[in-house]
Amino acid sequence: MEASLKFHSLLSFALILALSTPRESASEYSFTTELVRIDTPNSSDPYQHVVNAFRRSISRAHRLSQNSAGTLAMPPGVLTNSDGSFTMNMSIGNPPAPFVGIADTGSDLIWTQCEPCLQCFDQASPVFDPSMSSTYEVIMCETPLCNALLPYSFCGPDLDLFCMNSNSYGDGSYTYGNIATENFILGYVSGQPVNAILLFECGHMNGGTFTKVTDGIIGLGGGPVSLVSQLSDDTGGRFSYCLVPLGSTTKTSKLNFGANAEVGGDGAVSTPLIQRDDQKTFYYLYLEAVSVDNRRIDFPPGGPSPDQGNIIIDSGTSLTLLPQDFYSQIEAAVIESVQLPRVNDPSQTLSLCFQVATEVNLPFLTFHFNGADVRLPALNAFVLIAQNVLCLTLGPSPTALYGNVAQTNFLVGHDIPNKIVSFKPVDCTLF
């Protein structure tokens, strides 16, 4: 009976949670975990982490554009697959083993490298060995669950094989493994572990540009197999995050689920959350205009309607990227407002940079979403990318993305059942 309950729950993409203390309803269930930036300051080069983060943004924009023609140059050495901005620490199996995954709102499936490792990239922690775990259960071909997971799963010609998954990326990186369920420790509440039986891919062949500090990916997108969706029965489909500034070294960002994810009170604004039927993974918003101080620049006409959305909100992208013509108008308004000598970005990554010698007055940028005006202080729109070189953290791209530098020091909440994204300005280092 226990196994049948587990499979029925997964078949409907629900979740079995095991907490140490009982709860009366999903609205009372919550936990918080940490997000750690992949790029951190280096004393020998205090600006390199900024360059790395922005190059990842360009790479990510190309991946999310799904090979559409782009306008962004690809700088030498750009990273092209492990291009998220944050990692998330969990434990997997019984007994628990560490799992460090890229927290990715641009993908769905959770996966990690597994033994036997036929081909794996180097990782700092030991590769997960499912044979050592008492809670690991492989999903077989020609079962209702495997069939229900299409297109995330497939079977080989021999129907006795395991239910499999294969993901490939534009740069040739890939993961290949079997679909399984396993016990994960997601976080702690009052010192007690929050456990969840989750569907994931146990990757036996993985390669490409993944970095040593990560073991795989934790999908936070809107598709049915993401961590967010698998937790939705117990979290009410709500999550939020509070991202510390790019150069912070003493504080980590926070990711909240359930009741902890509430965003409200003074200063909070909300806009419709849009999930397209053909792209459930991505969280779309509708951007009406951007203002540079008091000069309003409308989003170009002729694009998607408000009920389709025209910009993806993505915590994994550092830059905010906009259509070329729209970006060019914003850039011109910023140049007129700042009135400093222009210089080229020495890293050849960003489009608009200025020479600065002392503190300067910088314009506020306001993003006018449908029903919500989000006013960005200078910290969210400009960054020092080299000594005395200040750059705008916006750029041109065929796919519009609202990046995480713009979201810094905002509590950003996603309420999926009510289809709302909320923003509240806060000091995220105090959380």
Report yes or no on 271 lying in a domain.
yes
Three-state SS for 370-392 is CCEEEEECHHHCEEEEECCEEEE
CA distance 278 to 275: 8
Q: Verify that 246 and 278 share a domain, yes or no.
A: no
Q: What is the CATH number of the domain that holds 207?
A: 2.40.70.10
- Answer yes or no: 122 catalytic: no
Domain assignment of residue 216, given as a range: 2-38+82-253
Q: Verify that 24 and 138 share a domain, yes or no.
A: yes
- Of 253, 282, 305, the residue at which a domain comes to its end is 253
**Amino acid symbol at 217:** I
Report yes or no on 258 lying in a domain.
no
Q: Verify that 275 and 241 share a domain, yes or no.
A: no
For the chain, the domain total comes to 2
pLDDT of residue 166: 85
Q: Verify that 270 and 193 share a domain, yes or no.
A: no
Q: Verify that 321 and 374 share a domain, yes or no.
A: yes
| pLDDT value at 310 more than 80 | yes
Tokens representing residue 295 in the block: 């000069």
| pLDDT value at 273 more than 70 | yes
| pLDDT value at 10 more than 80 | no
Q: Verify that 273 and 238 share a domain, yes or no.
A: no
**Which of 415, 143, 146, 86 has its CA nearest to residue 283?**
415
Q: Verify that 289 and 418 share a domain, yes or no.
A: yes
Report yes or no on 67 lying in a domain.
no
CA distance 165 to 150: 10
What are residue 205's DSSP bridge partners? 119, 176
- Of 229, 253, 277, the residue at which a domain comes to its end is 253
- Per DSSP, which regions of 259-388 are E strands? 269-272, 274-276, 279-285, 287-292, 295-298, 311-313, 320-322, 342-343, 353-355, 365-369, 372-376, 382-386
Q: Verify that 281 and 365 share a domain, yes or no.
A: yes
Query: How does pLDDT run across 318-344, given as a tens digit for each residue?
Result: 899 999 999 999 999 999 999 899 999
**Arithmetic mean of pLDDT, 350-378:** 94
Report yes or no on 150 lying in a domain.
yes
Q: Verify that 177 and 299 share a domain, yes or no.
A: no
Annotated catalytic residue, options 83, 108, 234, 314? 314
CA distance 379 to 406: 8
Q: Which residue has the tokens 């140490």?
A: 20
pLDDT of residue 15: 34
Annotated catalytic residue, options 104, 108, 234, 415? 104
Q: Verify that 371 and 233 share a domain, yes or no.
A: no
Report yes or no on 304 lying in a domain.
yes
**Does 98 or 80 have the greater pLDDT score?**
98
* Those residues with Cβ within 8 angstroms of residue 413's Cβ, 6 or more apart along the chain or in another chain: 238, 239, 240, 261, 262, 263, 420, 421, 422, 424
- Answer yes or no: 427 catalytic: no
| pLDDT value at 80 more than 70 | no
Report yes or no on 59 lying in a domain.
no
- Of 234, 253, 272, the residue at which a domain comes to its end is 253
* Those residues with Cβ within 8 angstroms of residue 4's Cβ, 6 or more apart along the chain or in another chain: none
Q: Verify that 185 and 286 share a domain, yes or no.
A: no
Query: How does pLDDT run across 180-193, given as a tens digit for each residue?
Result: 999 999 988 888 89
Q: Verify that 184 and 277 share a domain, yes or no.
A: no
